[in-house]
Structure formats: structure tokens, C-alpha cells
Structure 1
Amino acid sequence: MALVSGIDVIQECSSRGLVAGAFNTTNLETTLGILDAVDKVGVPTFIQVAPTNVSLSGYEYIYDMVARRLESSKVPVALHLDHGKSLSAVHAALMARFTSIMIDDSEASFEDNVKTSTIAREMTPRNLALEAELGSIGGKEDDVAPEFAAHTDPVQAKEFVDAVGCDMLAVSVGNQHGFVPNAKIDFDLLGQVRDASPVPLVIHGGSGLPDEQLARLHEFNVVKVNVASDLRNAMIRSFGEAYAANPREASLIRVSKDAVVAISDVVEGRIRTFNPSVN
């Protein structure tokens, strides 16, 4: 199956009461591990990359890897720009044929966030999905932390979405990027934002949240949950274990294949956690 728009993933998940995982890739092993799990479970999914990671490969190489692997898949998958912090990043991802975009000016004032996000909406064709963020999510993304973190204000949610015209709203409700031991969703606040927002919600920082909280997100009109650190750790751990077992290991193919399996196991586990109804 060819890449689909993020709109298609949102619509199918919403109609089936599912939550899409949004899994960050950087390289071939991660891409293969993600899509092996997606094929096994069959839940529509986002594969994504942040601008901080394209320094290794470039947007076009990410597109080529994902699109080629999807030729043998039957599951709807969108290719998403994660945390597009600039309009130039949005432009680059669109030129590389990404099918879903995130603009993130959440650290700016409400007015400036609306302005930047609205320009991103104008740049992004209406048949492609646009995610915007209201409230600044804490923690670290690729060792980059925001200057400040702030919870999403439910009172502003409808005004923001109506002004921008985004298809998904990323929210800050206790979730944090990376591995944060004390990360905890404020479900009362999440419920208020759900009731105020005209569009489905996105939770970033899925790696650091406990399973029992992730399993409840489908009750709050959450359509997308981002996972990055878990996958990167699985790959690094797999390579590290191979070296520890044999410091003279020289079969990169064998070690890489083991890493693909380790990543796939994590992705499958996360998809099933997000969707308790999926067997």
C-alpha cells in the first residue's frame, strides 16, 4: 500500500475507536521494526521523524525507506513531520512528500502560536493532516528541552483550533518527552481539553507514561500517541548486548536483524497497550 494521508489514519482510527501509534524513525532498522509490528497488529499508524534527526539522512531518504517498505504492507500508514519548529522544516517535509505535518510554536505566545500555525496550515494542502501544539510539553526530545513547559488551557483550545484549522491538537497535560519517572497524565485536565477541542488530541511522550495510563487514552478522544525514546533505547540496548556478549562481534547484519526484532517487539507492545480491544 502506498503512503496515505494523516487524515486517512485519523478517520479510520476515529471510526474504529482506535489510537494510532506515532513511532519515530531515524534509520532502516527502526523503520523495518516499526512496520513489521504494524503489519502484525493491523492498526493504522504514523511513522515520523523530527528535524533534529534528519541531519543523519535527510527527509528524502526517510520518505524512500518508508514508502519502499510499505509496498508490501496492507495497513494504512502516514509519514509525519514531528515537531516542525520552523516553517522551513514544514516546507522541506512537504517537498519530500510527507503526508502529515506538525507545526510546533507552542513556546511562543498564544497569538504568535496561532499566527505561525495558521501559516503552516496555508502551506499544507487540505488533503494532508496538520497537527499543532497548544501548551508546551516538558522533558527532552533528542536532548532538546523547552525553555519552559506549560499545561494546555482548555479555555483556549477551541479558539486555537478554530483559528488555525488544524486536524489534530497536541496537548500538555502532564505528559513529558523522553523517560521521565514522575510523568503522569492529569486526566481531569485531559477531559476538559477533550470537551473543548473540536478535533482529536495527540499525546507526546508515550515512552515515559505507565501502561495503565496509556490504556485509558482512547476514552479521551486521543487519536495519536508519540513514541520515540523506547525505540531508540531498544536499538542501542540490542547493539550493546551484542557487544557485551562478544566484544569481537563483526556480523553487523546479524546484530542489525536482532535490533529490528527488539524494536518490533516494543512497537507491538505499545500498539496493543493503546488499544486494549485489539487482540
Structure 2
Amino acid sequence: MPLVSGHDVIAECTSRGLVAGAFNTTNIETTMGIAEAIERTGVPTFIQVAPTNVVLSGYEYIYDMVARRLAECSVPVALHLDHGKNLEAVEGALEARFTSIMIDASETPYEENVTTSAKAREMCGESVSLEAELGSIGGKEDEVGPEHAQGTDPDQVSEFVRATSCDMLAVSVGNVHGYAPDARIDFELLGRVREASPVPLVIHGGSGLPEEQFGRLHEYGVVKVNIASELRNAMIRTFGEAYAADPHEHSLIRVSRTAVENIADVVEHRIRTFNPSAL
């Protein structure tokens, strides 16, 4: 089916008690692997790309690649801008027909975050879902990270959502971008944030969290969990292992197809760990 709005993914996941994965793509192999896993599980999903990963292709190429593959898929999927750090990134993704947007002004002072996020809301209109971030998530995304990580303040949540009219709220509750083996969700803080938030929550940095924590997230109003590092590692590892096994390997298509399968396995595993009682 054609790509759907993030609103549709949120609504279906909420009605079915599911948590949507949000999987970052950069190239055709990653996109094909994500799509294959979505078809295996039947869970509505976000496919996303960050501005740091469109420097090679641009937003239009990402849209064309994802939309063409998902036209054959019966599961609702939204194409999401991940960590749009400014309104120019939002504009570029919207012009390329992305169906969901994240504006991340979380490293700016609170009032500036509100103002920027509210402007992004205006740009998206009613048909495109908007994710905003309150609190600053630590770690690095594509070697870029905040100067200071800061947990989400539950006392700011309700007013922030009201002022920005965001549809999803990305929160900092112990989650860390990238591989962070010591990262743990603070469920006490997450519970307080959930009580204050009128919209579903988003957890970034899923690649570094222990699996046993994933199955609890739906109980705390989480509708979306981001996974990027694991997919990229699966891609790089596949090509590295092929070269290590045979430095004269020259069948790019064979190794690429193996990468697709490895990525699909990672994505399917993650979707199932997010939804242990539903799948």
C-alpha cells in the first residue's frame, strides 16, 4: 500500500496495544531488510532517516526507494524524518513527501524548543504527524551528540505538548543513543512522564537497552521505539565477514542479499521483543 501518515501508525498501534519500531535506513539493502521484517510480523512501523544520512542521496531518493518497496506491502508504514534539528530539515522532508516528522530542538532553551516545535507543527499541517523532544537524550547519533544529556521533566510535559501540539513526545528517561550497554530505562520517571503526557511517548536509543525492558514499554504509553545502530552494524558486519572469509570476494549482489536477510532478522527480532504478548 502507499505510505501512510504517522497518525495512522499511531492509531493502529494504540488500538491494538502494539509498540511500533522505528528503523533507520540509508540504502537499498537496509530498506529491503526492514520491509521484509515488517511483512513477516504485520506490525505497523516507521521507516526513518536522519538529516545526517541524506547527505549522499537527498530526501527525494529516500522517499522514492521506500515508497516503491512499500507499495507491495499490506502493512501500514510511515516515512519519518528522524532528528530534524532545524526547520530547513523539516522543509526538505516535507517537500519530499515524508509522512511523519520529528523536530528536535531539545538542546535549545525550553522556550526556544517550544517556539521551534510549534513552527514545525504549522509546517506539517494536520495530515503529517509531528514528534517533538523534551529533555536531551545522551549518546551519539552518527557521531553527533548533545553537549549535555538532560532527563525529561514531568512538570514541563503537559504544557510542552499543549504549546507545540505534537502528536508524539520523545523523552529522556535513561535511554542513550548508539550502543550503550549500561543504559537502562528509569521506569519510575517514565511513569511520571506518562501520567503527565496527553500524547504517546517515544524512546530513542533502543539499540543499547536490555531486551527485558522492551516488553514493558507499552504499559507506559510508548508507541514508538527507535533502532538504528543494530541495523547499521548488521550491514557493516556482513560485508566485513565476507571480506575476511575471502579478500577476493567480488559478488556484490550475493553479499548484499545476505545483508538484507541479516538486517531483516534484526528488525523482526526487535519488533517481536517490543510486542512479546501480541506476536
Category of TM-score, reference length = shorter chain: over 0.9
Per-residue deviation, 1:79: 0.1
Structure 2 residue 243 is matched with structure 1 residue 268:
no
Q: Quick one: distance in 2 between partners of 1:278 and 1:29?
A: 28
Corresponding residue number in structure 2 for 1:203: 203
Per-residue deviation, 1:128: 1.0
Corresponding residue number in structure 1 for 2:61: 61
The CA deviation string for residues 30-82 of structure 1, in whole angstroms up to 9 with x for no partner, is 00000000001000000000000000111000000000001110000000000
Corresponding residue number in structure 1 for 2:28: 28
The code of the aligned residue for 2:194 comes to R
Q: Quick one: distance in 2 between partners of 1:278 and 1:244?
A: 40
Structure 2 residue 173 is matched with structure 1 residue 173:
yes
Q: Quick one: distance in 2 between partners of 1:199 and 1:7?
A: 12
Corresponding residue number in structure 2 for 1:4: 4
Q: Partner of 2:55: helix, strand, or coil? A: helix
Fraction of identical pairs, as percent: 73
Per-residue deviation, 1:278: 3.1
Per-residue deviation, 1:277: 1.9
Q: Quick one: distance in 2 between partners of 1:205 and 1:136?
A: 12
Corresponding residue number in structure 1 for 2:37: 37
Q: Partner of 1:92: helix, strand, or coil? A: helix
Q: Quick one: distance in 2 between partners of 1:238 and 1:65?
A: 22
Corresponding residue number in structure 2 for 1:140: 140
Q: Partner of 1:107: helix, strand, or coil? A: coil
Q: Partner of 1:147: helix, strand, or coil? A: coil
- Unaligned runs of 5+ residues in structure 2 are none
Q: Quick one: distance in 1 between partners of 2:174 and 2:228?
A: 17
**Where in structure 1 do 4 or more consecutive aligned residues deviate above 2 Å?**
none
Per-residue deviation, 1:195: 0.4
1:79-228 to 2 correspondences below 5 Å: 79-228=79-228
- Unaligned runs of 5+ residues in structure 1 are none
Q: Quick one: distance in 1 between partners of 2:206 and 2:52?
A: 19
Q: Partner of 2:224: helix, strand, or coil? A: strand
Per-residue deviation, 1:232: 0.1
Q: Quick one: distance in 2 between partners of 1:83 and 1:256?
A: 28
The code of the aligned residue for 1:206 comes to G
The CA deviation string for residues 244-269 of structure 1, in whole angstroms up to 9 with x for no partner, is 11110000000000000000000000
The code of the aligned residue for 1:31 comes to T
**When the two structures are superposed, what TM-score results if normalisation uses the length of structure 1?**
0.99
Q: Partner of 1:199: helix, strand, or coil? A: coil
Q: Quick one: distance in 2 between partners of 1:145 and 1:110?
A: 18
The CA deviation string for residues 88-118 of structure 1, in whole angstroms up to 9 with x for no partner, is 0000000000000000000111111000000
Q: Quick one: distance in 1 between partners of 2:223 and 2:127?
A: 18
Q: Matched residue pairs, number?
A: 279
Corresponding residue number in structure 1 for 2:254: 254
Q: Quick one: distance in 1 between partners of 2:194 and 2:278?
A: 23
The CA deviation string for residues 114-149 of structure 1, in whole angstroms up to 9 with x for no partner, is 000000001112111000000000000001111111
Q: Quick one: distance in 2 between partners of 1:81 and 1:129?
A: 10
Q: Partner of 1:66: helix, strand, or coil? A: helix
**When the two structures are superposed, what TM-score results if normalisation uses the length of structure 2?**
0.99
Q: Quick one: distance in 1 between partners of 2:56 and 2:36?
A: 23
Q: Quick one: distance in 2 between partners of 1:25 and 1:57?
A: 12
Q: Quick one: distance in 1 between partners of 2:83 and 2:118?
A: 15
